[in-house]
Structure 1
Amino acid sequence: GYNAYLTVFLLLLIKMSLLTGAITLLIYLEITFLLILVSLFSYTLYSGNACGLLIGVFLIMLAAAETSIGLSLILKFYGGTDASYAYA
């Protein structure tokens, strides 16, 4: 249960530090992260634990914000500036 949250938090930290780094690695991380997020979300829904649900929702909001930053960076890298402004 909670080690899954810990893994996500560690992934967030790694991703944050990678935002300035390699863009290809970021894309792979983005996909992996989204997969983990989906499984984690379904896990929190079925567990029915109020505390776990709160942590899950908070992590999902955090990850959603972070993912949009990552996506806009990827778009900025590949499609120039005009594509990323639509996301911002």
Structure 2
Amino acid sequence: MNGMFLTDPEIDQICEGLGPNSHAAKVKRLQSLGLIVNRKPNGRPLVVRAHAEAVLSGRAQAAAEELAAAGNPESGAPRPTTGDRAAVIALFGRKKAA
């Protein structure tokens, strides 16, 4: 079983070409790929494996596109409900004035 986080050699492979001690550059490279990156106490990048697999495989992009399509009435998907800010303000304004 793979660990919860990418290993240092896996991160080094993704960031190939960057020096072994250029932790800040590796963080920037990983973030440019769309990954959420934390840091270990020694400064090395720390990336959750499941997140990296979703982003790098394109699953995260597919999910985002699916959500965008749900908001498109022509897609046939139900449109997500959103609050009507003005109506809420008016409602609370009426209650306050009463």
TM-score category, normalised to shorter length: under 0.3
Higher relative contact order (CA 8 A, sep 6+): 1
* Structure with the higher fraction of residues in helix conformation: 1
Q: Tell me the TM-score normalised to structure 2 length.
A: 0.25
* Structure with the higher fraction of residues in strand conformation: 2
Q: Tell me the TM-score normalised to structure 1 length.
A: 0.27
Who wins on radius of gyration, i.e. which is larger?
A: 2
